[in-house]
Chain A
Amino acid sequence: MGIELVTQQTVLPDMDELSFTDLELDYHVRNALKAAVQGDRDFYNQLVAVIHHKDRLVPEEVALLVTCLKALTGAVSCVRIVHHQSLLAAIFGMSLWNYGTDVMDALVEVLTSLAASSGQYVDLCLEMLVTNFMPPSSSSAHFIEFLKQPRGLDKKRQVLDRVHSTFQDIANLVPLTPLRLEKITRDRMPNIYTKEPFIVMYVENMLRLESGAAGKLVGGSMLVAIMDRLIDLDVEIAWDDILQDDFSKGIFDMELEDLEGFSDHVQQDGNELTRESLIQRFFGGNLVAEKLDSLLVLTFEHLESCRESGRLIQVFETLLQSFQKTVLTAYKSKFAQFVMFYACSLDPENCGKMFASTLVNIFVSGVYPAWRMSAVSYLASYLSRAKFVAPSFVATTLESLVKWCFDYCNNQDGDINAKAHKVFYAGCQAIMYVLCFRMRSMISVPRLRSQLLLMHIEDILRHPLKPLQVCLPSIVEEFLRLAKINQIFAVPDTSADYGMLESELSRAFGGVERLDMFFPFDPCLLRKSDRFIRPNFVYWSMVRSSYYEDEEDESASDEDIDEAGINMADNISDDEGNAHFDEFDYSLDKMSITPRDSSAKFGGRIHGFVQMPSKIRPSTSPESL
């Protein structure tokens, strides 16, 4: 208060040769504004010019700008949206990023008082502030470099702190601003083609809003908007991006055999190919994947901070709703679902159980078959891959799945019909898939073992609907093998009893979307987000190893198995060798999906047995490679 700007006399010769107190200045600016309404725009135009002047301000000009802004703060009641358009345009055209802290402070004060002075300006002020989430796009290249320096980070902090505190100030004066802010933030969200640092910065700000004071009001829609953007990015990554050149041969893109050539390549290189280089190979040039990766990391970090502040459960409820609307309904989402996985890993007791029971509900009582099938795929994949899910909970969930399937097939007396009973087959496949991963841990607990035995799994599998013939052969074979080893289900010894396993049937039940081959929580292929997922993730290699010990005892007749076993033992001794794990995983993968007879066609090898697809999406990953 009480600024007397001596400099002003020198800079503004138009002004009277006086030093002004800010009250006088106020008066001058008011008069200028009023005169402009009357038609005398001289002083008004000077004012606009001062505010408009952006480039290379000398200290005197900065001082003048600050003074003018302060005077304007007092005179906002004289601003008329009709008569002072150029002034408003100049103010709203300013970017906090272009100025020092004193101008920033003066500017946000003008914005606050403008927003509070009349309802017309609220939206404009909020929009201007939201625009400042990111540096001005006109000089984006400059800012991308600038933001990598400590000076740039300082600037970012200065700007964003002011932006968010101004939201707070405006909300104190105009309590309904969060409503408008919510809409504006959603509408202004940059599209997926925005440069990575910018979209990341914007999402950072959205998350900051979510955790801020207005979070209760706007938080939900921020999360939903972020999930939407994640899905947008996700669908932008086509399967073709994952299966590049040398993987593009084969019957259809998603066959793992397509990757076989690649695996040979790995082996030839003497395991020198690390996971990193594989990712590089998949996603090296894929900007969309990098963006998605960065946004996922941001979201993960945010979820973690939510857990620390004890509001993870509320956030999770929002996420779950959004998941049902976007991720679940999106066609084979590849990465966005890991937000759910990570949230569940942070609080398995509440979030994890809520997630599973929601999926069960959708499967059991959903309306659209495709969504029900997706839901059960998510469920199966989640129960199998999440390390933090207790076996007892797996058993309980499995029980509800089995119950539904049992009731379903009791009411059916037809023969195999992949299309008509696709939801049922999806359920059966999910049950087998989960058992492939979890059978071992479940039967080691006597109570769970008996619970498992009491379910009607055998009845379902022996039903004339013949799920064993329809479900994915790789899963069925692995399941049967494990059932035999563990002597838990009295199912036929070999697939021979069921005749040729035909993947055509599974294709039929999966429909053109191939929902039969959808395993959403297969290893995450994104570089940065992987470190959040990895500690809580069950890789097939880990499961396989536990089975293998048994297997070795029982029969080491099959040489292929032997080889695999040795390989694996080697790899496991090398704890750090995740890449080795991956590699081993792949050796399973490459044999996974295609029916036996076609293997010769591709690799020219004869596989001893068809193994469990550690990941059926080829997409999937270096994990498996």
Chain B
Amino acid sequence: MKIGRVPLTHDKLKVKAPLGGMGAQEQSTNLVVYLHPSIANCVNDSILRELSSLLFTYNETFDGVVLAYDPNVRSNLAKILPGIHPYLGVRLKAKLLLFSPKPNKLLEGEVVKISRQSIHAVILGFSSAVMADEDIRDEFKYKVKHGKEVFVSRHHKKHKIKVGTIIRFLVKSFDEEILHVSGSLVAANTGCARWLDTNLEEWSQADSTTRKRKDRDEKEQKTADDKLMASRDMPSLKKDDRIKKLKKKRKEHT
């Protein structure tokens, strides 16, 4: 039985490490959970329940949506708040996984629907994103191929966006209530994530044709990595390796 609203205060936020390009990051927090004395005999459960109530809703204190939590109660002493109900203030350190899409941040999501006027995607399985046609750059052309709707790049035939594709897009705005992202595919570093990952260097090649090959190779690696850093706050090791391997291959070819 839940009695009364249990306030939850949040002392300090410390960003620990961002988690991938999906816009979720882990944060260490110091929290104080105030528990009603009537539930003093099940403190752990009550704390978990309180933390659960934060899930999948936007929280201003954290400036994001809590996706997961890992509480760690440091001490079995709780501060008692004087008052009509002597609430117990239990201090705890919790690691929270937060989803906080900010404008102009790159996010990735899976495309679930394509129509002539829009692309719909789902981020991390719970947040919806929509790109209206004015936010899709002209490079992409809407086509119906074999009864399936796709957006195909006019410059790179292989750069396609269809249902199931993971796309990378810029956040335009975020509706905190329903966790709805309005995105944009205007920037050049947006589109099908897989295509971008494998073709980023080519793309930068086109930008730096005047440079010498050696320089370019070095530069290319750097820009590619930079781009990657920009697109994913923390590139996973795996992906890095893959790109390096690709580069190695290319070098061998030349």
Contacts and interface: CB of A to CB of B under 8 A. Distances in A.
Interface string A154-193: 0000000000000000001111100110000000000000
A321 B130 CA distance: 39
B133 A172 contact: no
A174 B118 contact: no
A455 B45 CA distance: 37
Nearest to A177: B178
A122 B176 CA distance: 13
A77 interface: yes
Given A175-B122, A179-B56, A116 B133 contact: no
A75 interface: yes
Nearest to B128: A174
Contacts of A365: none
Nearest to B175: A119
B117 A75 contact: yes
Contacts of B177: 119
B113 A77 contact: no
A179 B125 CA distance: 14
A174 B180 contact: yes
A173 B125 contact: no
B134 to A, nearest CB: 7
Contacts of B203: none
B113 A122 contact: no
Nearest to A122: B178
Contacts of A77: 117-118, 132-134
Interface in B117-140: 117-118, 120, 122, 125-128, 130, 132-134
A119 B130 CA distance: 10
Contact of B180 (A26, A113, A119, A172): A119
Interface string A97-118: 0000000000000000100111
Interface in B147-205: 175, 177-180, 182
B178 A174 contact: yes
B162 to A, nearest CB: 16
Contact of B128 (A76, A113, A123, A175): A175
B115 interface: yes
Given A174-B178, A176-B56, A180-B178, A118 B116 contact: no
Given A77-B117, A116-B120, A117-B132, A176 B127 contact: yes
Nearest to B118: A77
Contacts of A391: none
A176 B113 contact: no
A174 B182 CA distance: 12
Task: Give the secondary structure class of A's interface.
Answer: helix
B130 A117 contact: yes
A172 B113 contact: yes
B126 A74 contact: no
B112 interface: yes
Interface string B78-106: 00000000000000000000000000000
Contacts of B127: 175-176
A80 to B, nearest CB: 12
B116 A74 contact: yes
A236 B117 CA distance: 53
Given A77-B132, A119-B180, A173-B128, A113 B175 contact: no
A7 interface: no
Interface residues of A, number: 21
In this complex, the interface size class of chain B, counting residues with CB under 8 Å from chain A, is: 20 to 34
Interface string B227-243: 00000000000000000
A194 interface: no
Nearest to B124: A175
Given A77-B132, A174-B128, A176-B128, A119 B178 contact: yes
Interface string A235-250: 0000000000000000
B51 to A, nearest CB: 18
Contacts of A176: 56, 126-128, 178-179
Given A119-B175, A119-B180, A173 B120 contact: yes
Contacts of A357: none
A122 B175 CA distance: 11
Given A77-B132, A77-B133, A118-B180, A113 B122 contact: no
Contacts of A175: 122, 125-128
A176 B122 CA distance: 10
Interface string A534-573: 0000000000000000000000000000000000000000
Contacts of B120: 116, 173
B126 to A, nearest CB: 5
A120 interface: yes
Interface centre among B127, B130, B133 (most CB of A within 10 A): B130
A118 B113 contact: no
A175 B121 CA distance: 10
A113 B115 CA distance: 10
Contacts of B56: 176, 179
A20 to B, nearest CB: 15
A173 B112 contact: yes
B224 to A, nearest CB: 33
Contacts of B117: 26, 74-77
B109 to A, nearest CB: 11
A250 B175 CA distance: 65
Contacts of B179: 119, 176
Nearest to B131: A77
A360 to B, nearest CB: 19
Contacts of B115: 74, 113
A558 to B, nearest CB: 52
A81 to B, nearest CB: 12
B180 A122 contact: yes
B143 to A, nearest CB: 13
Contacts of A120: 175
A174 B120 CA distance: 9
Contacts of A26: 116-117
Interface centre among B120, B128, B175 (most CB of A within 10 A): B128
Interface centre among B56, B112, B178 (most CB of A within 10 A): B178
A132 to B, nearest CB: 21
A54 to B, nearest CB: 27
B128 A118 contact: no
Contacts of B128: 116, 173-176
Interface string A116-136: 111110110000000000000
Interface string A16-55: 0000000100100000000000000000000000000000
Nearest to B133: A77
A116 B113 contact: yes
Interface string A458-473: 0000000000000000
Contacts of B116: 23, 26, 74
Given A77-B117, A116-B120, A117-B118, A172 B112 contact: yes
Contacts of B132: 77, 117
Interface centre among A74, A122, A123, A173 (most CB of B within 10 A): A173
Interface of B: 56, 112-113, 115-118, 120, 122, 125-128, 130, 132-134, 175, 177-180, 182
Given A23-B116, A117-B118, A119-B175, 8 more contacts: A77-B117, A77-B133, A113-B118, A116-B130, A117-B132, A119-B179, A123-B178, A173-B128
28 contacts: A26-B116, A26-B117, A74-B115, A74-B117, A77-B117, A77-B133, A77-B134, A113-B115, A113-B118, A116-B113, A116-B118, A116-B130, A117-B130, A118-B175, A118-B182, A122-B178, A122-B180, A123-B178, A172-B113, A173-B112, A173-B113, A173-B122, A173-B128, A175-B127, A175-B128, A176-B56, A176-B178, A180-B178
Interface of A: 23, 26, 74-77, 113, 116-120, 122-123, 172-176, 179-180
The 6 closest A-B pairs by CB, nearest first: A119-B175, A77-B132, A119-B180, A119-B178, A174-B128, A74-B117
